[in-house]
A = this chain, B = another copy of it.
Amino acid sequence: MDEKQKARLFELADLILAISRHLHAAKADAAEPWTPLEAAVMRFIDHQPGATATQAAEATQLISSNFSRALRKLEHKGLVRREADPGDARRVRLYPTQKAGENLGYLQDAWSRLLEEAVPDAGEAEALISTLRHIESQLLDRIRSGTDRG
């Protein structure tokens, strides 16, 4: 890889991580009932209702034991509902509850308020989101096809 491109990608990683720290801090201000990890799980379930535990654990980069722990807490708080898969009794399908929707609303408020003034304009935001969406899906695909490629 080109040295210049390498430096570019590094800066990209750096920026994404820096901004993610701001987002975490903003979430704390909003007094959300979720830890960062729980929020990640919750957001995935909201995006992919009906996903199995394994799928959700994969997407959130968690090993199953830790995912199960996060899930237990969320269920205990009444934010996630488990449902047995009719075709395979081992599988558990996950769904957000109505309460989850309300709480995600708080999160949406906190984050969108933080980003509102920082994001240049709607047009650039669209382009940004489109590109990031692509990147994220590529990274997810890589995990699915096997993480190790050294």
- Give 24 pairs: A residue, B residue, CB < 8 Å, sorted on A: A1-B113, A1-B116, A5-B112, A5-B125, A9-B115, A10-B107, A12-B125, A12-B132, A13-B23, A13-B115, A14-B47, A15-B129, A15-B132, A15-B133, A16-B16, A16-B23, A17-B20, A17-B23, A17-B40, A20-B20, A21-B60, A22-B61, A117-B138, A120-B131
A148 to B25, CA, bound (A): 12
The residue in chain B whose Cβ has the minimal distance to the Cβ of A37 is B21
Instruction: Summarize A's interface: helix, strand, loop or mixed.
Output: helix
Query: Residues of A within 8 Å of B, CB-based: how many?
Result: 61
User: How many identical subunits does the complex contain?
Assistant: 2
Complex interface: chain B residues within 8 A of A89 (CB): none
